[in-house]
A and B are shown apart, each in its own frame.
Chain A
Amino acid sequence: MADYTWPSIYFAYSYFVLMVLGALVFLIRTVKDGYWGARGEDVKYQVFDSHEEREEGRTS
């Protein structure tokens, strides 16, 4: 049986590098999209389905 150990290792680690690069790109995107800015906390109210539930959540 041919041993494909090294190609497999290269595959696994290049896939990993690809994931890291993708993560870095999207991490930088979060800065541009305002997740770390002054209004970055507004998004947490999205879990509430209705306006009433949202207002109730804001005041609790």
Chain B
Amino acid sequence: MQEQISRAEIAGGAAPSGALVHEDTTAKWFLVSSVAYFFIVGIVAVVIAAKFVWPELMSTIPAMGYGRLRPLHVNGMLFGWLLAADMALTYYLIPRLCGVRLWSETLGKATAILWNAIILGAVVSLLMGWNQGLEYAELPLPLDVAVVVAWIMYGFNLFMTISQRRYPAMYVSIWYVMGTILWTAFVYLTGNFAVLFTTGVNQANLNWMYVHNAVGLIFTPVGLALAYYFIPKASNTPLYSHKLSMIGFWSLAFVYVWTGAHHMLHGPISQWLQTIAIAFSVMLLIPVWAAVYNFFATMKGQWHQLRDNVPLKFLMSGVVFYLLTCFQGPMHSLRAVNAIVSKTDWIPGHAHMAVLGAFSFFAIAGAYYMVPRVWGKQLYSDSLANWSYWMWMIGGIGFFVTLWLGGFWQGWQWNNPAIPFIDTVVALEPVWLVRFFSGILMFAGILFFSYNILATVLGEKPKPTAA
């Protein structure tokens, strides 16, 4: 098998004979910008958490109101940080899995520039209040069109790279990335364009299909692509079973798209549609357990590596959060549970465990693994990386658990018509205080991570030996 290294790893010297040298410029551009957005939007997240405790905080400034900051936080984290980081990591891993260079670094760099223009446009427009008022689809129409163009550029580049691959058989991460590209096209077009031509309940139904599949058919498959690549790489252990990974992929492909209507249980949509959503939500246990079992079986005999391998710590903690969030999802799609937790703080607790606890952990692990290699330098500080892990773990668990318990409690109160609504708001204050302090810890994780990555990129700590 041909040796593959990054251009930066040879540091001006000659590449080993027969080695495939990757430029990785696109991956670098996407990663640096995604980490910058992670930090900036992290500040917004802390301000929002503070507003729950001190609602009057900056309330006289229109751009700092909850209604404008909340969509900025959601879109910034989803598209500015996570999707951009995922794109960076797929620009890194797809050429390596295919044994060829990226089809076009020029197209990749153009995509990175366009993506940054979109995110900066989103920051301005959302702060100005230019908002379409649809969950996860708040961006103004011109920016939606730009996202489609950028996605076509990204997808075309990766599909061309895959079409020129050296190895005929495709590793499961390639399947997941291809799925992400196609499913995102389907999900994004539906959620941002088709939905504009509908009204009433049908619009709500389409919007929830988009919202749920934004997580299920965009962030889940690309997150799993990263986990399937980086867990074997970081532990230097082959995947337990490629066939099992394929079962997970195909069951996800067939099951996920039907689950969105579980957001409208007990609502004014057909009972058959609600029942289908519940049945398919429970069936999600198949792809989830197939993936999680595979990761745990891969780690058999390798758990000792977690002591000092930071990327692996993030990866395996992400797997545990993935298991928990994907057990929680099917369970709260059951009618009896949904009657209590729907629309409560339970839901953001669940969503944060998926997007931060699972998929961001996979992306963070990938960044810690990739950055020293593509910049040809040692990580600035292993100790700081470890601290970032513990800040996220402690803050994250505090955040998730508080919102589940608080959300359940909130739901019980809402189900009691004798309790005035405002009393249920006042009762949640202690929950929101813990949420705020957990948020501070998570922001410390973001700060340590961003600083570590930036210091590695700008620093002068060369790698002791070439990979």
Contacts and interface: CB of A to CB of B under 8 A. Distances in A.
Contact of B242 (A11, A43, A60): A43
Given A35-B243, A51-B1, A60 B186 contact: no
Given A5-B202, A35-B169, A15 B189 contact: yes
Interface stretch (B136-144, B192-200, B262-270, B431-439): B192-200
B169 A12 contact: no
Interface stretch (B246-254, B392-400, B410-418): B246-254
A22 B250 CA distance: 12
B229 interface: yes
Contact of B3 (A3, A30, A47, A51): A51
Contacts of A51: 1, 3
Contact of B257 (A16, A27, A47): A16
Contact of A53 (B182, B186, B200, B236): B236
B186 A44 contact: no
Contacts, number: 114
B242 A50 contact: no
A45 B202 contact: no
Nearest to B178: A26
Interface string B92-123: 00001101000000000000000000000000
Interface residues of A, number: 38
Contact of A60 (B194, B209, B237): B237
B250 A27 contact: yes
A47 B194 contact: no
B233 interface: yes
Interface string A31-44: 00111100011111
Interface string B1-19: 1111100000000000000
Interface residues of B, number: 47
Contacts of A5: 197-200, 202-203
A53 to B, nearest CB: 7
A34 B1 contact: no
B381 interface: no
A16 B169 CA distance: 27
B59 interface: no
Contacts of A56: 236
Q: Is the interface of A mostly helix, strand, loop or mixed?
A: helix
A16 B198 CA distance: 17
Contact of A19 (B183, B246, B302, B467): B183
A9 B198 contact: yes
Given A5-B198, A8-B194, A45 B238 contact: yes
Interface in B158-201: 167-173, 182-183, 186, 189-190, 194-195, 197-200
Contacts of B189: 15
A15 B187 CA distance: 10
Nearest to B96: A49
B171 A36 contact: no
Contacts of A3: 198-199
A13 B233 CA distance: 39
A12 B182 contact: no
Among B170, B190, B238, the one with the most A-chain Cβ atoms within 10 Å of its Cβ is B238
A40 B197 contact: no
Contact of B1 (A7, A8, A11, A50): A50
B241 interface: yes
Nearest to A49: B4
Given A15-B190, A41-B243, A60-B302, 15 more contacts: A4-B197, A5-B197, A5-B199, A7-B197, A8-B206, A12-B194, A15-B186, A33-B169, A35-B246, A42-B169, A44-B171, A47-B229, A48-B238, A57-B232, A60-B238
20 contacts: A5-B200, A7-B197, A16-B186, A19-B257, A23-B253, A35-B243, A36-B243, A36-B246, A43-B169, A43-B242, A45-B1, A45-B238, A47-B171, A48-B233, A49-B1, A49-B4, A57-B236, A58-B238, A60-B237, A60-B302
Q: Which 10 pairs from chain A and chain B are nearest by CB?
A: A4-B197, A50-B3, A43-B169, A49-B4, A44-B242, A44-B239, A8-B197, A8-B194, A5-B198, A46-B171
Interface of A: 3-5, 7-9, 11-12, 15-16, 19-20, 22-23, 27, 30, 33-36, 40-51, 53-54, 56-58, 60
